[in-house]
Structure 1
Amino acid sequence: MRSLLMRQILFCQKRSLCSSINSERPRVRFAPSPTGYLHLGGLRTALYNYLFAKSRGGDFILRIEDTDQTRKVEGAVEALKTDLEWAGIECAEGPGFNGQYGPYVQSERLDFYQEHISTLLENGSAYKCFCTERRLNILRRDAVKSQRVPKYDNRCRNLTHEEINEKMNAGIPHCIRFKLTSDCQYFDDLIFGGIAYDVSINEGDPVLMKSDGFPTYHFANVVDDHLMKITHVLRGVEWQISTTKHLLIYKAFGWQPPQFGHMPLIVNSDGTKLSKRQSDVKVEDYRNNGIYPLALVNYITLSGGGFDHVPGAGVRIKTIDDLAEEFQIDKISSHPSRLNPDLLEECNRLEIKRQLQDNDLSKTLVTNLKNLITKTYPKHNLNLSEDHVKTVLDWSVSRISRIEELVSKKFGFLWILPKAKTEVDQVLLAKLVTNLENLEKFDQNTLKDNLRSFSSNNGVKFPALMKMLRGVLSGLDEGPGVAEMMDLLGKSQSLERIKAVVR
């Protein structure tokens, strides 16, 4: 039993693999299926492939694996390209890009697969299978009843030429299967270290070409990676167990396989698996909810390793060039990557701060915020001067993580100019200005105590004073408390608005 388990799967101790990585110019690919939106796991796979290629002067290729036509979603390819471009991931080759190894959509490469499946049929590595779906279901059901691993029994592997010709002449539908050998394949995983697995123990002969003429993932990705000269395959750990099967297909063709690295799962902060059904794992949702691309990219890299990190140094936003320069594949953790939502908010706040420190980016940020304000408050008299918007952004960078927060009701008073009020006690407000000017601290708690004392000392009811000040400061009936509002406006702006009604 022990030797069987050792043959079944063997994980060797992780070690530095820098010396084992090909020194040639790398060609890597991101090969999603057009079955819907790009999620965080897919973005992480694309990002790490891109950074690996960029760090070594290589090429990043986008390939669309749409062999399962039943799950194809209209518009998914363009959406994927939009998401990758938004994240700063540049494709050297792919659909709509230049490249000499196209087409880059698998449904347009059927001739390639037919040509190469003929090679395997001729050299005896593959065979035609005529088993019906009903028979396969019976096999699965019987295996479950007997508490065995459900797998194909390789029945059609031993059909004679006469039997095959008879079935073909009768027009019986067939697929093409690969002949698995009891051969424990070993490979050096660039992230996990040495891995060995005998796929024939738990699987029957896999299908390479379906009866509809489309290849399966296992066949198409091997053929395409070879023809597109892919040197390194970085993909999710869920494909790790299939890699030994792919190595057998490479061997059947007599091809040199690329090097493989498998990235661990991305999980929630509590260790539970992310679900594609969650609305917060779509890249599009992050973009629509005010998250900046560089913030999301840094968020992903902070959870999975692959970069130098000094303990206690805090979070720092790195550009794509910075990340590519620092990227080291042997530093990727083999443990599941836990996401910390608070870290995303911090990354986005730091990205706002970074943009404010750049002259061109700062102008764009001001313009975007002005557009948001105008859209949110179309019927109000607004203060949208460049200096004011920039001042508020500088002030808010330690308080917010998304600029959309600045157009919420809580912060509406920052932009909406109060209307002229006739029902104000100008003498009282003049005294209040002098009182406030003498305050050393201008925070919410200090202001609350001070305003209560002021109302008591000057014979005015506190609610009446608050109503008057709210009108003077914002002209709004709703919003944060007056003390909080003054704290957010700051001493200078608060006094300026009060003085505006004191003649």
Structure 2
Amino acid sequence: MTVRVRYAPSPTGHLHIGGVRTALFNYLFAKHHGGQFILRSEDTDLERNVPGAEQEILEGFRWLGFRWEEGPDVGGPHAPYRCTDRLPIYRDYLKKLADAGAAYPCYCTAEELDAQRAEALRLGQTPRYSGKCRDLTADERAALEAEGRTANWRFRVPEGVTLSLTDAVRGPVSFESDDIGDFVIMKSNGLPTYNFQVVIDDALMEITHVIRGEEHLSNTPRQLLIYRALGLAEPAFAHLPQVLDETRKKLSKRDPNVLPVHAYREAGYVPQAIVNFLALLGWSPGGEEEILSLEEIIARFDLERVNKSGAVFDVHKLRWMANQYLKQLPLPALTEMVRVQLQRQGIALPDGRDDGWLETVVGLYQEQMACAADFLPLARGFFERQAALSAEALAVLREPGAADVVRAYHTLAEASDVWTAEASRDRFNEIKKTLGVKGKALFMPVRAAVTGEVHGPDLQMTIACLPKAWVLERMEAALAQAGV
């Protein structure tokens, strides 16, 4: 048997990171077993569909390194891969159910259904369809249609049936049909509901394994009923643990700490870091190693190692992992990513500075960055003539002897014709001899005056990368502000 899995996003907005985790587990499972990964666009929610969303979703998956054998952009033997292009197929299968007596038209209005629901709640019962239209005669249906009512089609749920399956993640699961109630499978506007459409599409596309979030577990009994009523082969099911936020609540698409995929891409994250991080959300590779290539993850992936409990989206761990990947990038590649960020912000290189200068400055901060966008706040001092002094920097400048060091460096720098890291180091050595200071007392006052901070990258390279005029001006301004 060739393993065939699918991910079927709705083009109703941005590609959410929680959905990517589900798609990734499908992808890993398929590739581990030498199978096929299919993309399908579930675009039947016409009111919520967003123009361009499907293209953004596909581009997001490509950026992450996904490759699919079939989909709306590449076609395939089970086309079409957009649900709105498959409406005649759903109508054919609805007719099969209706002809077999497994589906019937329901003429209840929204107000009547709301009243039924309210009455059930008043009685302390679980709301479910009352079956009011289940056994209408042909004359009764004609009379309702004469009133101008249009019908939704409901599936006739058999009574007293236990629906059992062995979930690849959760183990044995069973449901009682008496808890379900007849459910809508085709709306009056001719569009299928999810539980009907997904069964038809998965069966006709020969999907062998349905791997999805645990929120879909409650849909499974309805889908099993449709599979069995139509005599279609049932796939294996695996319901993945929810992705939780740091308060252990279900991750929201509106969580400000969790971005849609396009935002991570635009911020200049390394896509392999996102994939590595998401793979560990609810799955354990075994052992202590966490930095794994896609190929290594595919080789190790198995549903048996997927946890039942929810997986916390730890933003700090994501940034740590992203930093591990970004540090391994060749400096020219990272510099190009940073250049994109600068262009987006409309930030030009300082006068007289070239691509080699930018690469040097990027190298100063590579160890600290999780994404290319981190460069801008870290390196802002290289793009702005003035430097604001932090409280710590002011405190350093007011320490005994600090101002003397800054003035001495200013004098030597002003007289120097050579502006390199080595020349800066020579200036410090001369100050060390003449003033008898060393260590922090030697370097910290100059760093505080030049950068406005007491910590930062290599001081000699920092000074060499700044224009000489900026360094001199900053020192003068810092001493004036410190009042020394």
**Structure 1 residue 25 displacement after superposition:** 1.2
The within-5 A match list for 1:266-277 is 266-277=243-254
Distance in 2 separating the partners of 1:75 and 1:245: 32
Distance in 1 separating the partners of 2:466 and 2:188: 76
Distance in 1 separating the partners of 2:8 and 2:263: 22
Structure-2 residue corresponding to 1:324: 298
Q: Report the secondary structure of 1:116's partner residue.
A: helix
Alpha carbon RMSD of aligned pairs, Å? Answer: 3.3
Match of 2:332 among 357, 363, 368: 363
**Structure 1 residue 496 displacement after superposition:** 9.2
**Structure 1 residue 127 displacement after superposition:** 1.3
The 1:499/1:99 distance shift into structure 2, 3 A limit, reads closer
Match of 2:412 among 419, 422, 426: 426
**Structure 1 residue 339 displacement after superposition:** 1.3
Distance in 1 separating the partners of 2:467 and 2:108: 85
Unaligned residue ranges in structure 2 (runs of 5+): 387-408, 417-422, 473-484
What TM-score do the two structures reach when normalised by structure 1?
Answer: 0.78
Structure-1 residue corresponding to 2:26: 49
The 1:491/1:248 distance shift into structure 2, 3 A limit, reads same
For the 8 Å contact 1:429–1:498, the answer to whether it is kept is no
The within-5 A match list for 1:450-489 is 450=442, 470=450, 479-481=451-453, 484=455, 488-489=457-458
Structure-2 residue corresponding to 1:282: 260
For the 8 Å contact 1:175–1:211, the answer to whether it is kept is yes
The 1:164/1:342 distance shift into structure 2, 3 A limit, reads same
**Structure 1 residue 163 displacement after superposition:** 2.9
User: Does residue 130 of structure 1 match 2:107?
Assistant: yes
For the 8 Å contact 2:7–2:40, the answer to whether it is kept is yes
For the 8 Å contact 1:60–1:91, the answer to whether it is kept is yes
Consecutive aligned runs of 4 or more in structure 1 exceeding 6 Å deviation: 415-418, 427-432, 495-502
Q: Report the secondary structure of 2:58's partner residue.
A: helix
The 1:436/1:247 distance shift into structure 2, 3 A limit, reads same
Code of the residue aligned with 2:312 in structure 1: it is R
**Structure 1 residue 42 displacement after superposition:** 0.8
Deviations 1:350-407 (A, max 9, x none): 1112322xxxxx5332323345457664262354454x55555555333222233333
Distance in 2 separating the partners of 1:166 and 1:278: 50
Distance in 1 separating the partners of 2:221 and 2:16: 27
User: Does residue 436 of structure 1 match 2:423?
Assistant: no
User: Does residue 66 of structure 1 match 2:46?
Assistant: no
Structure-2 residue corresponding to 1:157: 134
The 1:427/1:62 distance shift into structure 2, 3 A limit, reads closer
Code of the residue aligned with 1:399 in structure 2: it is Q
Match of 2:316 among 333, 342, 366: 342
For the 8 Å contact 1:127–1:177, the answer to whether it is kept is yes
The 1:428/1:383 distance shift into structure 2, 3 A limit, reads closer
User: Does residue 89 of structure 1 match 2:66?
Assistant: yes
Deviations 1:100-141 (A, max 9, x none): 211111111111011111111111111121222221111011
Code of the residue aligned with 1:355 in structure 2: it is L
Structure-1 residue corresponding to 2:181: 204
User: Does residue 183 of structure 1 match 2:161?
Assistant: yes
The 1:382/1:246 distance shift into structure 2, 3 A limit, reads farther
The 1:164/1:437 distance shift into structure 2, 3 A limit, reads same
**Structure 1 residue 429 displacement after superposition:** 7.6
Distance in 2 separating the partners of 1:161 and 1:149: 30
Code of the residue aligned with 2:441 in structure 1: it is D
Distance in 1 separating the partners of 2:141 and 2:380: 77
User: Does residue 298 of structure 1 match 2:276?
Assistant: yes
Q: Report the secondary structure of 2:166's partner residue.
A: strand
Structure-2 residue corresponding to 1:264: 241
Distance in 1 separating the partners of 2:428 and 2:167: 67
User: Does residue 354 of structure 1 match 2:346?
Assistant: no
User: Does residue 98 of structure 1 match 2:75?
Assistant: yes
Q: Report the secondary structure of 2:457's partner residue.
A: helix
Distance in 2 separating the partners of 1:218 and 1:428: 76
Structure-2 residue corresponding to 1:403: 372
Distance in 1 separating the partners of 2:304 and 2:430: 60
The 1:39/1:323 distance shift into structure 2, 3 A limit, reads same
Q: Select between 489-498 and 245-254 the one with higher mean Cα deviation.
A: 489-498
The 1:488/1:185 distance shift into structure 2, 3 A limit, reads same
Code of the residue aligned with 2:351 in structure 1: it is N
Match of 1:117 among 65, 90, 94: 94
Q: Tell me the number of residue pairs that the alignment of Structure 1 and Structure 2 aligns.
A: 437
Distance in 2 separating the partners of 1:131 and 1:496: 75
Q: Select between 270-279 and 114-123 the one with higher mean Cα deviation.
A: 270-279
Code of the residue aligned with 1:364 in structure 2: it is A
Structure-2 residue corresponding to 1:381: 351
User: Does residue 247 of structure 1 match 2:218?
Assistant: no
**Structure 1 residue 164 displacement after superposition:** 3.3
The 1:446/1:338 distance shift into structure 2, 3 A limit, reads farther
Deviations 1:151-210 (A, max 9, x none): 111121122244335545665311111111221111111111110111422x32001111
Residue identity (%): 30
Distance in 1 separating the partners of 2:50 and 2:41: 12
The 1:331/1:450 distance shift into structure 2, 3 A limit, reads same
Unaligned residue ranges in structure 1 (runs of 5+): 1-23, 357-361, 453-461, 471-478
Q: Report the secondary structure of 1:28's partner residue.
A: strand
What TM-score do the two structures reach when normalised by structure 2?
Answer: 0.81
For the 8 Å contact 1:373–1:415, the answer to whether it is kept is no
**Structure 1 residue 26 displacement after superposition:** 1.2
Deviations 1:442-477 (A, max 9, x none): xxx97542258xxxxxxxxx7xx789x73xxxxxxx
Code of the residue aligned with 1:404 in structure 2: it is A
